[in-house]
Amino acid sequence: MKFFIINSGSSSIKYQVIEQGTEAVLASGLVERIGEVCGRLKNTSFPGSSDALETVIEQPIPDHYSGMMLVIGVLTDKKHGVICHTSEIGAIGHRVVHGGEDFRASTLITPEVIGAIRRNIPLAPLHNPANLDGIRVAMEIFPEVPQVAVFDTAFHQTMPPRAFLYALPYDLYERDRVRRYGFHGTSHRFVAGECARLLGKPLAECNLITVHLGNGCSMTAIENGRSIDTSLGMTPLEGLVMGTRCGDIDPALHLFLKQNKGMDLESIDALLNKESGLKGLCGLNDMRDIHKAAAEGNVRARLAVEVQTYRNRKYIGAFMAVLGRVDGIVFTAGIGENDPIVRAESLKGLEVFGVRLDPDKNDQRAGEARCISTADSTVRVFVIPTNEELAIAREVATLVRP
Ligand code: AMP
């Protein structure tokens, strides 16, 4: 059976076709600039016997339906296709950003599930409508195929109230669902599972700190395989210093910016989400560019790395206190997987808590999961590549039997 994995954004559709069982990626691609003057599809097919085949199509793509039809055209194409007919797709997995308190796990999509995703739009006004577009179109094109929703928030629904409540009037939680939800749950859960395998024990017996450092950044405290705290909050703005997002700030900053800079709420929101984080500190948001600039003497680039890694360290320390025993710290995503400097600085000073990084192992570049701590480190440290599409495919496999 083949699974079609879809991550539908407001003007894009990211997808993969994955073979169940072998977990081989047969095709992956991105439709972007939907609704703009000229759209673009880039597909890479892995037909197995031959090398990867790339297709790029540039043409107007007015909506998600035409985007999806274009993808299906490429997937079933005689030369570059990986399926002969759409009937070969046995199930479809959708990434859905916000499941609110309605979803603690992935679920088969029904009209009730669609209604619940819609009810959660106020919590993710940009993402959930785009995810629903993907679901609607996939259900139109594949009416007989089971569809599964996999939520970014579901893994964190095990957080206890002491971790998920803000110290605000309780009514705001009860009536308006204002609380911490956390995100990147699919990634945290995936690398936690892989880490348990490397530790050689069931996930349900592992205490872990998973550190997802990409453009978005988050950290999760996992006790006996369950998320008990995470750094992202009601929206993906809280916590760590990210590419363009500020992470933790004083909430009174809004009032200061309004009173002293005359800014309205929308422009403050844009400032905190799009102009802050690493970009705000040094003008650059790609960590590779930041290291290059720092090496050339750019003081603010150096400072940006320091601010981000200091915040990482502070959260790791807090989550160690929350967990008590920690079996492993896992670094993942673009920066976490590739950046030995950020990893080393994020763990600086934690030797006293039994965290000992092996500098040679940390410096080695490798694409696979590996341990980078010394043999005598009581807390083992790992680099584990995340794979959200595969994680979604595994969720689909648990809900859809051939
Ligand atoms: P992600 O959101 O997981 O795709 O991560 C994207 C970010 O990873 C980029 O913005 C870069 O800052 C970072 N990144 C990717 N490759 C490297 C690398 N080799 N060294 C340092 N950072 C990297």
User: What's the chain's length in residues?
Assistant: 402
- Of 224, 188, 236, nearest in space to 332 by CA: 188
pLDDT of 163: 98
Is 152 a catalytic site residue? yes
243 lines ligand 1 (CB under 6 A): yes
Q: Quick one: residue 274, left, alpha or beta (phi over 0 = left, psi -120 to 50 = alpha)? A: alpha
CB neighbour list of residue 384: distance below 8 Å, 6 or more residues apart: 191, 194, 195, 198, 330, 331, 332, 337, 369
192 lines ligand 1 (CB under 6 A): no
Q: How far apart are the CA of 292 and the centre of ligand 1, in A?
A: 13
d(CA 46, CA 77): 13
d(CA 257, CA 272): 11
Among 335, 337, 362, 384, the mutation site with the greatest number of ligand 1 atoms within 8 A of its Cβ is 335
Please state, as a whole number, how many other Cβ atoms lie within 10 Å of the Cβ of residue 289. Answer: 15
20 lines ligand 1 (CB under 6 A): no
* Token code pair at residue 273: 């989400």
* Token code pair at residue 360: 């040679």
Tens of pLDDT, residue by residue over 96-123, are 999 999 999 999 999 999 999 999 999 9
Tens of pLDDT, residue by residue over 204-247, are 999 999 999 999 999 999 999 999 999 999 999 999 999 999 99
239 lines ligand 1 (CB under 6 A): no
Tens of pLDDT, residue by residue over 339-351, are 999 999 999 999 9
Q: How far apart are the CA of 335 and the centre of ligand 1, in A?
A: 4
Are 27 and 45 in contact, with CB atoms under 8 Å apart? yes
Q: How far apart are the CA of 213 and the centre of ligand 1, in A?
A: 8
For the chain, domains (ranges, CATH) are: 2-151 (3.30.420.40), 202-388 (3.30.420.40)
Are 275 and 244 in contact, with CB atoms under 8 Å apart? yes
pLDDT of 49: 64
pLDDT of 51: 82
Are 393 and 23 in contact, with CB atoms under 8 Å apart? yes
Q: How far apart are the CA of 140 and the centre of ligand 1, in A?
A: 36
For residue 156, the one-letter residue type is H
Sheet order of strands, 89-96 included = 53-59, 39-45, 25-32, 13-19, 2-8, 89-96, 147-151, 107-108
Q: Which atom of ligand 1 is nearest to the CA of 278?
A: 12
Q: What percent of the chain has pLDDT over 90?
A: 94
Q: Global pTM?
A: 0.95
Collect the ranges in the chain with pLDDT lower than 50.
none
Residue 118, CA distances (Å) to 89, 113, 128, 129 in order: 26, 9, 7, 7
| Catalytic residue from among 133, 152, 229, 327 | 152
Q: Which atom of ligand 1 is nearest to the CA of 243?
A: 10
Sign of CA dihedral 189, 191, 192, 194: positive
